[in-house]
Amino acid sequence: MKILVTGGAGYIGSHTSVELLNKGYEIIVVDNLSNSKVEVLDRIRELTNRDFKFYRINLLNRGELDRVFKENKIDGVIHFAGLKAVGESVEKPLEYYHNNITGTLVLCDLMKEYGVKRLVFSSSATVYGNPERVPISEDFPLNTTNPYGSTKLMIERILEDLYISDREWGISLLRYFNPIGAHQSGRIGEDPNGIPNNLMPFITQVALGKLKRLSIFGNDYNTHDGTGVRDYIHVVDLAQGHLKALDKILEKPTLDIYNLGTGEGYSVLDMVVNFEKATGKKVDYTIVDRRPGDIDICYADPSKAERELGWKARRDIQDMCRDAWRWQINNPNGYE
Ligand code: NAD
Ligand code: UD1
């Protein structure tokens, strides 16, 4: 079985590629390396002892992507490629809409042309906006607050319409909560450009001494300790969720939507404490103003994925902190 992995050099795509290869799938990776490094591909090969084809291609380039479909008999696609920084999406909305939406349209058009009708898509809990209550289940109202989130919601709608137009498609929309951690080997992990936007890579860089202290964005949220609460999920659990989703759509046509989270919420302060406990490293912090657009509390009801896919996150918060730290100390400058 041959699976095309778009964005396979990225953080979640690389971990999912490892799981696919370990399960015996053949993969073809397409990535333009706009937010990743070519080195990750050899790490994937090293971890799995398997080889695969890589195309350095921008999804917006239809001609080049056509070549990938022409040269390979593809059975299904896992589509990670996209731009993902919320703040940047507010500054560069056209770039985000063009890259994420046009990229997906080009991909789907070629899939249709070549009769490849199996697609797993990376959506995000961001499509729930500021939810009225928690835990969040898949039937909650959808609403976005920034261009990045809007691209995810629009792509979900496009894929739903595609399924309505042709019930031979099998499409799985996976709404990720907050992926953190790394492969337990410490060989692949998250490698953000510049100063990290997200909490966990910021914490690991403070612990390493690359950054002075963590700024906690607000302690007056309506949560148990005033700091923001999120549903952090180990990236390997998340990757394994993709294989379950893929199995289901390869079996028969359907359109599915699943939350991939643990169902547990941790505050920023909980994360600092857990990280210190898991690693023995101290994380200095200071409380600063809220970050615009942040919400109080967000965690999943992941029971639908357990019921229908037989998938459940297995790794706990200590595993996530330990694995994130192992990746960081073994690769202080990421893949460089
Ligand atoms: P990432 O940036 O590490 O990986 C995305 C990859 O896609 C990168 O390697 C990048 O070079 C590539 N890419 C981007 N645009 C491309 C294009 N036009 N053509 C070819 N390649 C392109 O991000 P990630 O964290 O691995 O996220 C993967 C997917 O999951 C994204 O779609 C993201 O929006 C979504 N997602 C991520 C998170 C998260 O917290 N990491 C949460 C929810 C959803
Ligand atoms: C961010 C994105 C969201 C995306 C999600 C998963 C924003 C506004 N939202 O969510 O669209 O789906 O990542 O990748 O960027 N925090 C600090 N200090 C820091 C960094 C974060 O206190 O230096 C706090 C935040 O206020 C939040 C929590 O830590 O309460 C998690 O933040 P982050 O890792 O950026 O994820 P989200 O904001 O949940």
CB 30 within 8 A of CB 80: no
Residue 12 Cβ inside 6 Å of ligand 1? The answer reads yes
Catalytic positions are 148
Structure tokens at 236: 């390997």
pLDDT one-digit tens code per residue, 173-197: 999 999 999 999 999 999 999 999 9
108 near 138, Cβ under 8 Å?
no
Write down the residue that tokens 């792509």 correspond to: 155
Site to substitute for ligand 2 among 89, 211, 294, most atoms within 8 A of C-beta: 294
Q: Please choose from 12, 57, 68, 320 the residue to mutate so as to test ligand 1's pocket, defined by most ligand atoms within 8 A of CB.
A: 12
CA nearest 246: which of 20, 6, 9?
20
What does the pLDDT look like over 207-217, one tens digit per residue? 999 999 999 99
Q: Mind listing the pLDDT tens digit for each residue in 119-165?
A: 999 999 999 999 999 999 999 999 999 999 999 999 999 999 999 99
- What's the CA dihedral at 187, 309, 180, 75 to 10 degrees? 50
CA of 223 to the centre of ligand 2 (A): 15
Q: Which candidate, 288, 290, 285, 292, places its Cα nearest to that of 271? A: 285
The confidence score (pLDDT) of residue 124 equals 98
Pair 261, 313: CB distance under 8 Å:
yes
Q: What's the confidence (pLDDT) of residue 250?
A: 98
Give the pLDDT of residue 298: 98
Atom of ligand 2 nearest to the CA of 221: 30
Q: What single-letter DSSP state applies at residue 100? A: I
279 Cβ inside 6 Å of ligand 2: no
Measured by CA distance, the residue closest to atom 43 of ligand 1 is: 124
- Specify the ligand 2 atom closest to the Cα of 177: 6
Peptide bond into 192 cis (omega under 30): no
CA of 198 to the centre of ligand 2 (A): 5
What mean pLDDT is predicted for residues 8-19? 99
Kindly report the protein residue whose alpha carbon is nearest to atom 22 of ligand 2: 216
**Ligand nearest to the backbone CA of 260:** 1
Cα of 239 vs centre of ligand 2, distance in Å, is 20
Res. 321 pLDDT band, cuts 50 70 90 = very high
Question: How far, in Å, from the CA of 180 to the mean position of ligand 2?
Answer: 11
Task: Please tell me the distance from the alpha carbon of residue 293 to that of residue 154, in angstroms, as a whole number.
Answer: 20
Which pTM does this prediction carry?
Answer: 0.98
Q: Is the CB of 291 under 6 A from ligand 2?
A: yes
How far apart (Å, rounded) are the C-alpha atoms in residues 257 and 149?
Answer: 16
Q: Is 230 in the pocket of ligand 2 (CB under 6 A)?
A: yes
Point out the ligand nearest to the CA of residue 226: 2
Is 332 close to ligand 2, i.e. is its CB under 6 Å away? Answer: no
